[in-house]
Structure 1
Amino acid sequence: MSAVRCLRSEDQFLCSICLDVFTDPVTTSCGHNFCKHCITQHWDTTDLCKCPLCKETFYRRPHLKINTLFSEMVAEFRQAQQKASSCSSDQQAAKPGEVPCDVCTGTKLKALKSCLVCLLSYCDSHLEPHLTMSRLKTHQLIHPVDNLEDRMCRKHDKPLELFCKTDQTCVCMLCSVLDHKRHKVVPLKQGYEGKKAELGKTENEIQQMIQKRRRKIEEMKESVKMSKDAADRQIAEGVQVFTALMESVERGLNQLIKEIEDKQKIREKQAEGFIKYLEQEVSELMKRSSEVKQLSRSEDHLHLRHSFSSLRAAPPTKNWTEVSVCPPAYEGTVVRAVTQLEETLRKDMKKLLKAELKRVQQYAVDVTLDPDTANPHLILSDDGKQVHCGDVRKKLPDNPERFSKYGCLLGKKSFSSYCFYFQVQVKGKTDWDLGVARESSNRKGNITLSPQNGFWTVWLRNGNEYKALAGPSVRLSLHSRPEKVGVFVDYEEGLVSFHDVDTAALIYSFTGCSFNDKLYPYFSPCNNDGGKNSAPLIICPVNQTV
């Protein structure tokens, strides 16, 4: 095998863990090779023995032996690599940033190794004695490094060969018997192995952190893609809806204009008939007037007497006293057109609300009531889906999570990202509160429900008074009394909306909210009011058939 060929196949002789040429190579049952020390250390820092390359799991830790054949191939590769280096070492002058040979005179060649015993760095030719002389073969060679003098004890000018565990510092032999004689001192290699093991553990932790962040990056990219797709769909739906609305408005306007113009044409046609008839009568009258004038100027007594009877009276005409062209009655025309348009818009709006409710129902979550947060007057069902207010205050531990004064409680599960939706049956109740609450909101003593205090809620009082507790509260005018209320939260968008599930009508929306904490579903069935409000709040499953 030629040196060039060996160099071209260098990757197959590199351990995938330390990224250096194999030392004591071993082969796993899955067929991959590693340095014995590298794979052993890797498995020491993991719960399961897995191949770092193919991730095959070994449920029993394999007993690894050095691959003799492959080890020989690695040795041949090392020799070929050294020969290849020697062939080109004459041209390898040390570049800026590279470690130069300490022995070279004149042009300093690039160092291949540094000796921790000699505290010198050597190029290929000057390294030869360390590879051939038995006395120098025992020296520890490492990748070339600068500042080898830093490896000498500044106080005793001796190599730093030991590690003081007490002071966590490298020391020389004299330090160990003088300044550190009562400290726990071990050979530097032992300390090195321990630190290397720690670094290996740190590296694994860093790799896990990298993987977590890469997964988070992928999640965010996927989230952005989903958001982009949703935005595109919303834009397309919006364009479609508003196009239809504009077409409807345009049709209504065209119909209004046509109706008014048709009425005007009828009046114009009627007036044209009257005018034509009047013009004919005017023409007859003018003709008779001319004849009367001529006769009155005549000197012919006989002709005057003969024609007098026929010209004395005016020609027959129509009595126009009661005839008129009344302007068309346009009153109410615009109002009727707008009313019709409003009805069309109301139908379209209802379709939109149904579509919106279906969209948010896709984020439905399973909500169960948390008894540890429930006020002692509240009574929960065994399945944690229903709650009503009792007349007796139970003796319960006053833990920090529990509402102490008002009949409130929260759901068990919290939410701090994305979207979620749940719906509650309020049928038969005259008073109730629903919404979400911040984890850090106050639960003891007097509580004011408002976003400033960490509550986003709507309530019903006296059977017909609906309010959004927006601080200050907003009175709500609902077309119908909801029997089932849906609550939707978009955490990132800062949105909390309430829906009448049966009619798909939007009850109220809190927008621009800043949560900055975990959110819990919030419930209050309110007091019994002598049995008038005894019906329970019931968390009901989502049925997307609206």
Structure 2
Amino acid sequence: MAAAGHVQCEDEFLCSICLDVFTDPVSTSCGHNFCKSCITKHWDNNENYQCPMCKKDFYPRPELCINTFISKMVAQFRHEAQHEPNIYSSNQQAAKPGEVPCDVCTGTKLKALKSCLVCQTSYCQTHLEPHLTRSGLKRHQLIHPVENMEDMMCMKHEKPLELFCKTDHICICLLCPVVDHKNHEFVHLKDEYEEQKAELKKTEAEIQQMIQERQLKIQEIEQSVELSKKAADRETAEGVEVFTALMDSVQRSLDQFKKKIQEKQRTTKKQAKGFIKELELEISELRKRSTEMEQLSGCEDHLHFVQRFTCVKAAPSMKTWTKVSVRPPSYEGSVVRAVSQLEDKLTEDIKKVVVGAELKRVQQYEVDLTLDPDTAYPYLILSDDEKQVHDGDVKNLPPKPQRFSDCCCVLAKQSFSSGKFYFEVQVKQKTEWTLGVVRESINRKGQILLSPQDGHWTIDLSNGNEYEALDDPYVLLSLKSGPQKVGVFVDYEEGLVSFYDVDSSVLIYSFVGCHFNDQLLPFFSPGLNDGGKNSAPLIITPVDTE
């Protein structure tokens, strides 16, 4: 029972600030007890007067008096600890891994309660008692238990590290400033601790800010990855569709190739099987005659021998097989012919499947365009909805700064300086037209040379059947049939302008590596009327997604 009571004293008479037995114990109104010097220093170093245990605020700062009752109990506790060391020690726990052991204990090392900077030793509660009761040891500096006490001491003077040299940014002892750190700026370690602790809060706030910034950046990157994944999924789906169609075509060609080879092989096998069957019958007959001759060779009866030999010898004659053979069919050139046919088929399929899938993809970027009458060549006639244009042979529009003076063309009202856009134009029944995009800053007066160097990316039809890409130099386009509807796709960032035959899903031409550096405007030239031969209008049509 005495031991249990002693453990209770040990728990109740330790200050929660210094973790030592109370010295001049005082009590707060919330019921917690502290050393008077500990709570006084704690409140001196903080703006708010709080209980370190329950965080209750006090205002104004209370005046604390020594609790005489607890003071007497502490005195009794010290007396028992001094006169009953065995009982006191027996209730302490052995040091666990990671805990500082007592340097004095022999045998089982108990958990250290304090470390002495002067003695450079860690003590359990029992062996700490002399530092609490003897006047000479009371002046020693006790700290929370730490391992490697030598790290707390000056290696040169063997004194505790109590100062901080701001010049060299190291901890020093009281003797170091005399020689090694003469004329250096130094402060007490506690003052530097307080200063660095304040700086720590500021640095921690900065770190938290940096963490938030990086978390936002992570979200931004994750969003980019998600967008990339969606784009990759779309592209993969399109690719799977295209390659599946191509693989089906290859598989069909392979199946046809294998079928032809197998048919030849079956014919050869059937012929060989007939020969083998015939040969096996003859072999069976020959073996039968061989057996009869073997039996006749042991016969001693002259009459019987002659009669039987005449019968055996008179057996039907056998077929001559010298010139009979099974010739393997010739497969020479079969693979080459099959691959050549496949190549032609794939080329055709690629145009249908690949370009068709690509056209569907770019059609997603359709924009609604209207023609700008203020830019139209004076002889052009625009429909009321500003979706159609043709040459009227009669000047009907007044001069304007932005109007083309000599070029039979018109621009769209809408301009683009980023992203992707797509539009379709019907060119049915026309013998002449020009379509594409141009820089907003192009020259609109006098004769105009259409070329990428001058800010034009266009294709045209002339003389009813001559198609050209107005690149540098011009490129003659070989088309199997004239397009009835032309699709125009632009990727501003990629510097790409592509033209499609919408009905046939054929890529007509692409300008690549373009440098726009300006607003882009869709460009339309219906061509001259030519006595009614080219009177059909260019028509901006909506995309048919079905």
TM-score, with normalisation over the residues of structure 2? 0.50
